[in-house]
Amino acid sequence: MAELHPEKELERSKYIKDIADQVNSYSDKYSVDEVWFCGDLGSFNDVNKLLNSLDNKLDVVLIAGDDDKIDSEKHNERMWDGWMRQINSLEPFDVANNYEIYDEGFRKEIKNFTIETAHHPNHNKRDDTLIDPDKRPDSFLENLFSINHDSNQETAYKDNLISDSEYNPPNLGKTYDLLKDSPEEIAMAKKSVKESNIDKPYFKDHEVDIMIYDHLHMPYPRTISHENISDKLILGLGARRDNHGISELMPSSSLHMLSLDDNQIHELHFDAKQNEVFEHLIFEQIDDENLEMYYHELPEPYSHIGYLPIQERFNKEDIRDLAYEQPEIPSWNSVNR
């Protein structure tokens, strides 16, 4: 769940309590293990009330997004700091739940899958450093995935995520010694390596299987596949409060659920206002490299939806023409009778 923005609600406390009650209800129904709140969660008091209203058995991850780090003294429109600015330890909340706090995002292994979760999908929108009290090295940000909001199979070549050509790193011809070689030689070698990385397909050595982001309020699951990489699942989260730039087919408020087995991933996208499953996708691990994507047929009121390509999800002015999809996503029900 992401983009709560309680500061925009007239009954702020009730809004937070309603979200916690909804999480508790889903937890009971679906046997949820962990809840990830992926950014823009409000003030310290908002987060504290949220945590204190959750079932004690739930493990929680909190990610600080851009609004969560706002310094009110530097923003005239805000009278209060974001919750990450209001804490000075990684255990600031007096609650029974186990919880973890991360700035910008985190990486985790679940079952056979490596997952990276970030507030922003693109590194240009993230801070350059992790702020206190997150003491992880800033190099985490350098390695965290970075894509565009409409990156998909259709844009993967243009975005240099994949390539048909085999990548050949630069041949420097020698091993450089910082003490013996001139600064000019070392600088030229570093420049050569840096320039070659621009041409290197991004997913070539990116060992993450699942990438999750929010910030954009634009729910969009998709895969990127190529013979030179292991298939990638990219999940753009919708907003709990308001989705942006959506077509009339999409829900205005979203929450998401992932279920991971050894060779299957189920992604459920809920219409959070109607408490109905809007979209159920299944990703089956065929082998170490390949994911097969299916949509699961649903009952009313969303039985007619299936899988929506990007141009049917969002306002077309918000996505590149290149990103338009012609998906051939089979129904799980038809191939697994």
CATH of the domain at 310: 3.60.21.10
Q: What local confidence, expressed as pLDDT, does residue 262 receive? A: 85
Considering the domain architecture, whether residues 101 and 245 belong to the same structural domain is answered as: yes
Counts for the chain of helices (H) and strands (E), in that order? 6, 12
CA-to-CA distance for 105 and 1, rounded, in angstroms?
A: 14
Considering the domain architecture, whether residues 103 and 146 belong to the same structural domain is answered as: yes
User: Do 230 and 288 form a contact (C-beta atoms < 8 A)?
Assistant: yes
Q: What local confidence, expressed as pLDDT, does residue 196 receive? A: 47
Considering the domain architecture, whether residues 231 and 114 belong to the same structural domain is answered as: yes
Backbone angles phi, psi at 151, to 5 degrees: -65, 130
C-alpha pair distances (Å), 148 with each of 18, 103, 115, 164 = 33, 20, 18, 21
Q: Tell me, yes or no, whether 304 lies in a domain.
A: yes
Q: Tell me, yes or no, whether 1 lies in a domain.
A: no
Considering the domain architecture, whether residues 184 and 219 belong to the same structural domain is answered as: no
Q: Tell me, yes or no, whether 146 lies in a domain.
A: yes
Structural domain span for residue 209: 6-159+205-335
Considering the domain architecture, whether residues 194 and 232 belong to the same structural domain is answered as: no
User: Do 223 and 153 form a contact (C-beta atoms < 8 A)?
Assistant: yes
Considering the domain architecture, whether residues 44 and 118 belong to the same structural domain is answered as: yes
Q: Tell me, yes or no, whether 137 lies in a domain.
A: yes
| Strand partners of residue 107 | 116
Q: Tell me, yes or no, whether 98 lies in a domain.
A: yes
Per-residue pLDDT of the chain (337 residues; tens, 9 = 90+): 999 999 999 999 999 999 999 999 999 999 999 999 999 999 999 999 999 999 988 999 999 999 999 888 777 677 788 999 999 999 999 999 999 999 999 999 998 899 999 999 999 889 889 999 999 999 999 889 999 999 999 999 999 899 887 666 655 556 656 666 677 766 665 655 454 455 667 887 788 999 999 999 999 999 999 988 889 999 999 999 999 999 999 999 999 999 999 889 999 999 999 999 999 999 998 887 889 999 999 988 888 888 999 999 999 999 999 999 998 899 988 876 5
Q: Tell me, yes or no, whether 327 lies in a domain.
A: yes
Considering the domain architecture, whether residues 125 and 259 belong to the same structural domain is answered as: yes
Considering the domain architecture, whether residues 271 and 309 belong to the same structural domain is answered as: yes
Domains held by the chain: number? 2
Cβ within 8 Å of residue 32, ≥6 positions away: 23, 26, 58, 257
Considering the domain architecture, whether residues 130 and 84 belong to the same structural domain is answered as: yes
Return the exposure string of 207-246: e unless at least 16 CB atoms fall within 10 Å of the residue's CB, then b.
ebbbbbbbbbbbbbbbbbbbeebbbbbbbbbbbbbebebb
Considering the domain architecture, whether residues 43 and 119 belong to the same structural domain is answered as: yes
Considering the domain architecture, whether residues 96 and 185 belong to the same structural domain is answered as: no
Considering the domain architecture, whether residues 277 and 128 belong to the same structural domain is answered as: yes
CA-to-CA distance for 290 and 165, rounded, in angstroms?
A: 19
User: Do 82 and 70 form a contact (C-beta atoms < 8 A)?
Assistant: yes
Q: Tell me, yes or no, whether 10 lies in a domain.
A: yes
Q: Tell me, yes or no, whether 147 lies in a domain.
A: yes
